Amino acid sequence: MVILFDRYHLPEDVLDIVFATKQQKIVAQVLVKFIAEHGGSIGKTEMSYLATTLHEGKYEAFIDEEPYRGKKVRLSYNKRQFYDRILTPMKTMGLVDYDMYKKTYHISDKFYNEMMRIGLMWKNAVSKMGIQK
CATH number, domain with residue 92:
1.10.10
Residue 66 pLDDT more than 90?
Answer: no
- CA count, 13 A, side-chain hemisphere, 50: 23
**Residue 100 falls inside a structural domain:** yes
Range of the domain at 31: 14-108
**10 CB burial (10 A radius; 0-12, 13-18, 19+):** exposed
Q: Which pLDDT band, with edges at 50, 70 and 90, does 67 fall under? A: confident
State how far the Cα of 17 lies from the Cα of 3, in Å rounded to an integer: 7
How far CA 129 is from CA of 116, 121, 124, 125, 132, in Å, comes to 20, 13, 9, 7, 9
Looking at residue 69, its pLDDT comes to 84
Q: What is the mean pLDDT of residues 79-105?
A: 97
* Number of domains composing the chain: 1
**Residue 120 falls inside a structural domain:** no
Looking at residue 107, its pLDDT comes to 96
Residue 100 pLDDT more than 90?
Answer: yes
Residue 4 pLDDT more than 80?
Answer: yes
Percent of the residues in the chain that have a pLDDT greater than 70, as a whole number: 99
**Residue 119 falls inside a structural domain:** no
**Residue 54 falls inside a structural domain:** yes
**Residue 84 falls inside a structural domain:** yes
